[in-house]
Amino acid sequence: KISRQLNYIIVTSLQRMPSNNNNKRAALPSNEETLSLLLPESKSPRSTMRVADPISVPLGGGDGSAVDALAATTASKTLTLPEETGIAVKNNNSSHGNSSNIADTTRTATTLQYSSTRSGSNLGSHNKNNNNNNNNTSIYFQNNPSPRSPSVAQLRLNEKLSLLSGQTMWLLPPLRRFDVPSIRLADGPHGVRKPVREYSLQRSHPATCFPTAAALACSWDPALVRSVGKALRHECVHHEVSCLLGPGMNLKRHACGGRNFEYFSEDPYLTGELAAAYIQGVQGSGQVAACVKHFAVNNQESHRFVVCATVDERTLRELYLRHFERVIKDKTNPPLAVMCAYNKVNGQYCSEHDYLNVQILRHEWGYDGVLMSDWGAVNDRVAGLRTQLDLEMPGSYGAHHREIRRALDSGELTEAEIDTSAQRVLNLIERVRVVVDDNNNNKDASRSGNNSTRSKRTTATSTTMEEDVSGSSAHAQSTALLSSNNRLSWPVQHDIAKKTAMECAVLLRNKDNFLPLNSNNVQSVAVIGEFGKSFPRFQGGGSSHVQSEWVRAAYDEVFRFCDNVSFASGYEEDDEDTEQVNTELLQEAIDVAKEAQFVLLCVGLPEIMESEGFDRPHMKMPAQHNALVTEVCKVNSNVIVVLSNGGAVEMPWVDQPKAIFESYLLGEAGGAAIVDLVFGTQSPSGKLSESFPLQLSDVLADQNFPGSRDRVEYREGLDVGYRYFDSANQPVLFPFGHGLTYTTFSYVELEIEVLQDETHSKRVKVSIGLSNTGKFPAKEVIQCYVRDVTATVHRPFQELRAFEKVFLHPGETTKVVLQLEFEAFAFYDVGVKDWIVEPGDFEIRIGSSSRDVRQTQVVELTTGQFASTEAQQSYPPRPVGSIVKLDDDTFSKRFRGSLGKINQCITPLHDNFHRNSLLKEVSASSSIGSFLLWVVFKGSVADIKPGPSFKRDRKLMEAAVRNLPLRAIVLFGKGSISFELMDALIFFMNGLYSSAMAGLLVACTPFRRKAKKPSPEQVVYEAVPVEP
């Protein structure tokens, strides 16, 4: 079929061309002598559906035909075809063989290039198996356009609708009429999670587990993060994944956020810079799309499907959107997809939020990529399409298509709005088609290995480790390089994970330069704690859980430096009790510690205490873990504590150990990385990307976290993380940016030069000398904070505006240059609805952390724009050291001149259930609700097998299921239940039996498309306040 289609296109194009001798149309050969398009042999017909698959075309028939005439000379010729043909031909006779780079052809593929060095053979004698035939030319499908790449105008309505929803849990639908294949999405962000079964959360194909975002951010190294993104891209191609759901970019508003381990930082600037590097790595070759998430203000797991975040516009802009803006407006490589969040923001669900999705994302930031829903996040599909939510995930199996058709019939929705979203999804599919080597017979071969040994792994076919390219031809360039000889090396991926982990670990405390240990002086080491041997804590729970089969535990790695290694479990792996202590296990650990010269004490937060689906209720570690540190330090003075946790914890014993490492969740090679750092193979260089408060009550946002079922108020405003602690002079356990090395650094000669000072354009050059004054080669992160000294509105005491990671040998000195531009001095003025810089004095503060500032200097900016009255009234200035009031009056003033009103998240009180009622709510007072909860829970835990993780896996699923809204049952039901049937069940639960029976008839009729949408008075839909 493809052969006939291409034959027709080329012949038709040639008919339109004049001959070389006159303006008459060229004569064509007979049917037997026309271009014979011979598809290459393949073990799978799937290979013919891929971008850049060559189709051999012998040129010239020796009979004076048009083709022969055009190929009559030995010089290279170019045959121009109409642009709509979408065909490019490249001669295969170059000295580079048949893998010639097809980047020479234009993106629109309007050119046929060939060399006419003929051997005298005629068209009919072409041998399809002869790759050395001088007349052999390759035709490549190009991205835009091609016979398999239709425009949305060519699609039927049902084809357009299919593009607006996933085909399954992880696949986007194909367009079979145009041979457009399906593409696969997969969870990230620190590993590729390709489930073994569609709905399996625990079982997935083996992949490398890199450090989670919480750990990765502590590297403060965009180049390192870019390399991790590139490694993830290679595994995506190996697993045939075209879109990786990452990075997670939400801010750490509160230390107890359940998914904090998936997020970078409490600071939007640091988050934005690292996320941009991650995206560049993933999308570098054009083969894989990155999908940033979750847009926006998604900072908790409690009631995440229905909770409404009430936030003023300045806080929204400066904290919760700034990092998204950074990556969306990246001119080099913006993300190809954005995922909306579950929650509401100021009264509207993110999946249908006109202000966020249309006014800001599309219009203000100019984003034209795909906006997709989080899984099950769609509340009203028609409203989502009107606010340019292009893609709903997972596939709803037509459940929303009926509502869309009804909206089209009534005029509530136009087909032009559907066309816009369908075209974006089509563009994404065309952009990221992955070329797969069909000769690979072991695509999903397991990665061999265990916790204690370096085992040889099975290699699998993937992309070449090509250099990153950008631009419209990136996909064609990378796919042209694919070969069955290029393989993905699992050991190389693992080494990348280890090197990354070593850059991320943070040395919090090193009393009297206790570390590094000299292996020549180490006689015995005790490893205490299950995290150090049998149950390494290296990743978080939930959708990001990676199936890693080469996890290296600290206990096994210590043998590389010491032969005498003992062990005590210390605690049970799922012990989450914050009150009770197991005295038997504690005594065993004390006895082992007494006999050892050094103790490596591995404690932290068990996975059962922090995961997607629920928030932590406190910052405490289990009582057993705290008791271990206290009691072991009493019997051994050489204790090194290694913390494994996804977020900040309280440390009542902080002054007792000689050294403390914060490892967060370092991935599969975390154990090896920590041991290497302890023994001085490399100096630690990680810096905290979040503040560690002394106790939970010190966190200002804790007064409004996690809020109620329907509403969480961001009353703390800008006072999040170090912005609050430094402005209020609040003592902390460890400050933002803190991290020690095995050497010392000197900061000297701060120089500042104003290069540009205009109202809307600023450029300031900051130079600082840095010297390694110690005895160990190491890296230092220079952090640049800016303080507005003369502001007429409240501004945080200081804000991170630039940073640079520098490696120096002992005695080496370098000069580091940082650039500060308009954004470094600006704040968002709610009165003028824009970013402004007030003229005045700004203090440039250079340091090793937010509390370790080494050099300061004031610079004056003489031009700018003074704050509006609305800005001054909503955030009046306050002295350093004062505590902000969180009363109603203060909070309501911040909404003056801002988006929405303070009461937009107030949900009308009623006793009836609706589509957004949670399963835990309906199960408490309805037998139907109890039955639904039982059915959904049973289905969710079907894949959970008995074993060490059984308890925590069930806890995760129970929390997730209980907090599901009723509408999500339809979205996850794979077509087994419709919205019409769910509405009928809701009527039953509300005691409206006549309406329920009528609903059942509607649900069972084949004419559901004509059924009317229930009115709000029937209390099926949740009442939502209307924005003014």
Given 374, 437, 615, 829, which residue is catalytic? 374
Tally of CA atoms within 13 A in the half-sphere of 390 that contains its CB:
25
Residue in the structure block whose two tokens are 């914060």? 662
Tokens of 825: 């001095």
CA–CA separation, 580 and 582 (whole Å):
7
* Cis check: omega of the bond before 1023, within 30 degrees of 0: no
Whole-number CA gyration radius for the chain:
31
CA–CA separation, 600 and 182 (whole Å):
49
Tokens of 385: 């399409």
Tally of CA atoms within 13 A in the half-sphere of 546 that contains its CB:
29
Q: 783 pairs with which residues across the strands?
A: 803, 847
- Report DSSP state, residue 909: P
* Single-letter amino acid code for the residue at 602: C
3-class SS letters over 236-285 = HHHCCCCEEECCECCCCCCCCCCCHHHECCCCHHHHHHHHHHHHHHHCCC
DSSP 3-state of 743:
coil
- Report DSSP state, residue 131: T
Residue 331: partners with Cβ closer than 8 Å, 6 or more residues away: none
Residue in the structure block whose two tokens are 């028609």? 382
Residue among 938, 962, 885, 875 nearest 314 (CA): 875
Please answer whether residues 920 and 928 qualify as being in contact, where contact means their C-beta atoms are separated by less than 8 angstroms: no
Residue 36: partners with Cβ closer than 8 Å, 6 or more residues away: 7, 57, 58, 123, 124, 126
Residue 512: partners with Cβ closer than 8 Å, 6 or more residues away: 658
Label residue 974 left, alpha or beta by phi (over 0 means left) and psi (-120 to 50 means alpha).
Answer: left
Type and span of the H or E element at 906: none
| DSSP3 helix / strand / coil % (the chain, rounded to 5) | 30, 20, 50
CA–CA separation, 922 and 928 (whole Å):
8
Residue among 591, 593, 616 nearest 604 (CA): 616
CA–CA separation, 663 and 216 (whole Å):
10
Quick check: is 374 catalytic?
A: yes
Tokens of 804: 């640079």
Type and span of the H or E element at 568: strand 565-568
* Cis check: omega of the bond before 145, within 30 degrees of 0: yes
CA–CA separation, 510 and 520 (whole Å):
20
Task: Determine how β-strand 344-345 pairs with β-strand 308-310.
Answer: parallel
* Cis check: omega of the bond before 247, within 30 degrees of 0: yes
Tokens of 1014: 């229930």
CA–CA separation, 863 and 587 (whole Å):
68
Please answer whether residues 227 and 675 qualify as being in contact, where contact means their C-beta atoms are separated by less than 8 angstroms: no
Please answer whether residues 349 and 304 qualify as being in contact, where contact means their C-beta atoms are separated by less than 8 angstroms: no
Residue in the structure block whose two tokens are 């339809």? 970
For 697-714, b/e burial (b = at least 16 CB within 10 A) is: ebbbbbebbbbebbbbbb
- DSSP sequence for 818-852: EEEEHHHH-EEETTTTEEE--SEEEEEEEEEETTE
Write out the catalytic residue numbers: 374
